[in-house]
Amino acid sequence: MTPSPLEILLREQIQKNGPLPFADFMEQALYHPEWGYYASGRAPIGKKGDFFTSVSVGPLFGALIARQIHQWWEQLDRPASWTLIEQGAHHGQLAHDLLSALLLQSPDCFDASSLALIEPFPPLQHLQKETLEPFLPKIRWYPSLRQLPPCEDVHYSNELLDAFPVHRVEKRGTDWIELRVDVAPEGFVWSRKPAPSGAHTEALAQATRTLPEAEEGFQTEVCLALRPWFQELSQKLLRGWVLLIDYGLWEEESMQALRREGTLRAYQNHQRHPNPLQSPGEIDLTAHVNLSAVCRIALEHAFHMEGFTDQHRFLSSLGMIHFQAPARA
């Protein structure tokens, strides 16, 4: 089979610089501006795609999130102007469903709201503009959180953190070693060669010190991208909330024996792909979010934990409000 341009690029990088940290491999497999799975805009979502999200089922998910946003707007004493921020908006369907519901449920909150989409990739911006065409006067795009002006806001996301690139580590003796990606005649393979010293290896070593004890050969993931993300977010949020909807595990859960090969998964056509190193840019790569790390890092950056629950309870509680509320003409 003829290798793809992204495979060729990754091979050249490895041959030149040595085995890649998996986080670098995953970053390019998902977000290379031309050939990345997400960045190219080719990532299929829904029944005919590679995976479902709650948004795929219909507009009710967005309508329930709108109920929560309206409550928060009321708690801030109904500001005349505030910002809703979505990151990882894919094709923009959640934003469309949310704004549509907000317009129906609370026109005053809708009028006060503007929408900022954090989207660095032009193909996805184009798709989002098509989906959100009725609301374009209320929307601005920013390539990163760094470019976003400080504001009162709600930052919300659905399955964002599970797509952050992760490093893979394996327990060897009393230490954790990094699993990196090398090339062999049969394709990309895992390498256990000692990693060169550098900023990322020092940060990785520090992050693994918080992991619970594990047996020899146990593998897991570490997401170093969480800390700089929370740091940037803390600098932009003057007052408001961060709503993170994702799937994950507490550290103690992730270190159980049944997960000795970690939580890294690859998906294609709603089926688990057997090799996450095969066909970079053509399959989805994801890992369960380390909920312990999310809470720990958020608190370090002066966030306060207002609530933590599973999606079923969160949506059920909003559903009680939603279905009891009188419909507007």
Please calculate the CA angle 252-211-198 and round it to the nearest 5 degrees: 150
Task: Return the higher-pLDDT residue of 326 and 65.
Answer: 65
| Average pLDDT value for residue range 249-268 | 92
| Average pLDDT value for residue range 91-110 | 95
Task: Return the higher-pLDDT residue of 51 and 258.
Answer: 258
Residue 79: which residues within 8 A CB-CB, separation 6 or more? 73, 112, 152
User: What are the Cα distances from residue 89, in Å, to 146, 159, 170, 224?
Assistant: 17, 9, 33, 22
Residue type (1 letter), 89: A
| Average pLDDT value for residue range 289-304 | 95
The kind and range of the H/E element at 170 are: strand 167-172
Residue 96, phi then psi, degrees to nearest 5: -65, -45
What is the DSSP secondary-structure string of 280-302?
A: TTTSEEE--EEHHHHHHHHHHTT
Summarize pLDDT for 66-79 with one digit per residue, the tens. 999 999 999 999 99
* This prediction's pTM: 0.89
pLDDT above 60 (res 116): yes
CA 63 vs. chain centroid, Å, equals 21
Give the integer Cα–Cα distance in Å for 40 and 9. 16
Using pLDDT thresholds of 50, 70 and 90, give the confidence band for residue 117: very high
| Average pLDDT value for residue range 293-316 | 87
Give the integer Cα–Cα distance in Å for 35 and 171. 33
Using pLDDT thresholds of 50, 70 and 90, give the confidence band for residue 329: very low
Q: What length does the chain have?
A: 329
Using pLDDT thresholds of 50, 70 and 90, give the confidence band for residue 36: very high
